[in-house]
Structure 1
Amino acid sequence: MKKITEIKKMKPVLPERKKVAAYCRVSMETERLHHSLSAQVSRYSELIQSNPQWEFAGIYADEGISGTKAEKRPEFMRLIADCDAGKIDIVLTKSISRFARNTVDLLKTVRHLKDIGVEVRFEKENIRSLSDDGELMLTLLASFAQEESRSISENEKWSVKKRMEQGIPTAKPPILGYKWVGNHLEIVPEEAAVVKRIFQNFLDGKSRLETERELEAEGIRSVNGNVMRDSQLKHILNNITYTGNTLLQKEFVEDPITKKRRKNKGQLPQYYIENTHEAIIDYDTWKYVQDEMERRRELGALANKSLNTCCFTGKIKCPYCGFSYMHNHRNKNGHPQEYWNCGSKKKKQEPDKKCPVGGTISQKALEKACCEVLGLSEFDEAVFLEKVDHIEVPEKYTLQFFLKDGTEITRPAPNTGHQDCWTAEYRAETSKKRREHPYAKGTTELSGRIKCAACGCNFRRCTQPASNPNKPKMHYWRCSNHSNGCITIGLREDVLKKQIAEVMGIPEYDADLFKNQIPLIYVKDKDLLEIHFKDGRVETTQYAPPEKTFTPRSEESREHMRQLMKERWTPEYKAQMSRKMKQIRSEKFWNSSGK
């Protein structure tokens, strides 16, 4: 039987067209180069659209922009973004120098596009970035393009230098108080009045901050319409242009690739031309302002009268952070205190860069250490400023004095702020408050009712953490003179309350009943309690401290300790302990014999 095969009509498979874009750039906005850019755009538009295998993806063109920095070219950055989005497969450009004059930027961009499958074709050099030898050739030719850019920059610098030598300005920056008419400056009366006011404020002793706030309040702006900040006011006060003279090459471009500008502080020659335009400020006034600014700069913070300064301002330094210590005020328990701490505390520092000293230096401790170093019975600011160059804080609560005669002296400066404020008057005031307000912070109904019969002092409540972290903290009552040798026993609060309840004849301790019935408890003969009732009755009871309890060690714990002792008790350790014990016995023998 014959077999019949149906032959279906096949649809032709068209090759997928590549999405092609072009990048064009000229570095200067001139009539000739504008035509050149237009010609490039027209040519690439026609070239791409005439190729049936290509799909037109757009033309990206930067006009009047240098090729040394990729981020400064908006169309170039848009091109890269579209490549990342998958809108472009091939990028056409005239030459390497049109694409980038910075070797690093060029290779970084081409490698990035290569990773995402986008090819860059350089017509003049006949290089394709996806070819095997494409990157090698790009590296070599891009270096030449970068050096060409550097050479052009050097030639331009040479021409700029020649113009400056002839007194011809090479730039026409906007200057408050003047306007450019050709190559000459003419005064703008309204702006010149503002300049004179800025100089006059400085001569009157006002800080730049005060002038800034004054001008901002009146709506006076810079030539660009911005608020005049401290840096702009400083630039105006320093600008010799206001004297009618011109100083050329105040700044220079350090590197033609990075385009970074630096202030000319002697690296290159400057050119001073006299009487180039009408002056707003006479030269003598301008010179006086410069000298005064230098004087204030040397004084530092002391020159700013708007700051709360004293003789220690700018004198105390941190040797690790490089910051000066700052003067602070705080109010503790109603008593004002002054202290100094490292200025890095107010700066956002990374954890590993924080000041290693820490702590604060109290004003009283600082003045006391100064008196010891300078041999004064009472602190004198004039003597301090005359003799002390600066103070460093090498470690917590330690001051290192550097005197002007070259002497270095180290003195401790412990923080005794709490002791300083705890005067007899303050102690009496606090006791009175606690008696009148028994439930004040840190007090209970027992506060002020337990007294030591031996020394007459009140018992104070102390908190002692439990040996077991899972158990609550314990409260004890001890004589306030305990640290000075009082032998009266300490009373554990829970045990004391249980014994008070037994004496009162109640099953469980009651705070309200205690306050109503018992005004005073005397602690006699170390542990004898004498309880006084308001009705005149006196009861005595022996304080019975709780028995000490402990958890016996398990056999595993004992075995663990035995193993630790075996590991530690090495022959070397035995010999060391033997020598130590012989030395101790020898010293005891000589001390007991009186020799």
Structure 2
Amino acid sequence: MRTMIQESSGERAGVYLRISMDRTGNMLGVDRQLPPCLALCERRGWQPIVYTDNDLSATYGKRRPEYERMLTDVQNGTLSAVVCLHNDRLLRSPRELEGFISVVEDRAIVATVQSGDYDLTTPTGRAYARIGTAMARMEVEHKGERQVLANQQRAAAGKAHGGPRCYGYGRGGKEFASSYTMSCWRADGKPPHGTEIHVDEAQVLRDVARHIAAGETTRSQLADLNRRGILSATGKRWSQTVLVRLLRNPRIAGLRSYKGQITKAGTWPAVIGEDDWRRLQARLRVRDHGVPLREGTTSKYLLLGVLRCGRCGAKLGGRPRTTGKAGRKIRTYICRGGPEGGCGGIRVVAEAVEELVQAAVVATLNSKEFQAARRRRQQTGDTGSAFLEVQRLASKLEELAASFGREEFSFGEWQAVRTPLEVKLKAARATLDRLERDASQSALVDVSDLAGRWGELSFDRRRSVVLSLVAAVKIAPAPARTGGKFDPSRVTIGWRV
């Protein structure tokens, strides 16, 4: 944002304002930089033109549009000085400084408020600028080291990390007060802190998690949130990425993580209980490991990705087919040949095979054998312990690789240690997959009257149940002379239970 502050007969000076992070978007940080810069311009008799890059770092190589516009104005002679609160507001990279010097050394001086003047038209001024920038860079690197150590200590202690507000939790400060209902405020009349539960948002989050754990999709919950006008923690409409990232965040279960690994229980309250959160992860894993459906096909083909060709083993795809003189279209599943890798020799009417598989799923869920197996699974196996074991083994492999990279042992020694660890990790992941699948099946629905309520379930929920219970459905070639009728003997269901 470029702003002309006042008219003056003096030379023009570019006043550059920047703050690395503005979580509120109200530019309070850059506004605090402006008065001392304007005062300096007034003392020097300069006419200030303000250039503002809000919420942009000078360290990580991001483009700074106003900074670039200011350099252009220096080049074309519009400015004869550049003013900033401190030299680190302008530059923190020696490489960037050299580019800056090449532009301004014959045209302008840099005058700063707190760190003195750099006359870049002289060798001495340029030397001082290089020293100042090098020191600023050193401070950035030291700050990074301190931040890493602080993060490690906070993770080890189970304390919450910083960053943007997590949905479901509050945060103090007057600038956030308008985003909270009075029912969420603390007894002392202040908004909740970042580790205190935001009552309204927490209930929304629990409802979303409950629906997904019961078989609804993240897509349907996303549409519902946006339809009801419920906004995310940033005050924007929800996206699929934001919603799934939130549901996967261990923080909502009161768990502390560091670099993707859960370290221990956190010191803040959980919005969702740990067991419920792990069941939610199991449901999301089914979503990830299931079959991605293209837009427009989800309401038509219940068994997409589940059916297999009885000849070549390829997955069957959905395709409408025109039949009869009236040109009536019916849904079918087919084995696609050619580039898609199938043999092209299998086709089955979708409605008939879907009815058969759904009837088999309902019968299985209502069977005494399934109920007994379900009770046994609920009594055996600890998903949380299995999850931590997978993380422990994965971390050991990472540490082993790092030690080998530091040449602490030979390649043969590394292989000797790595191989048994990989075997253990593979077994631990298999155990976790089984326990999560079992937990997912246990959380599906209340099966006491499933047969009578199956038709009332949404398409997403019915598909979720099928994906949880059915590994694959093989469709054999149609026998000769069936008269076009569906033959149930062609269908072989492979169960996960």
Higher strand share: 1
Relative to the length of structure 1, the TM-score reads 0.40
Question: Of the two, which has the highest radius of gyration?
Answer: 1
Higher relative contact order (CA 8 A, sep 6+): 2
Relative to the length of structure 2, the TM-score reads 0.47
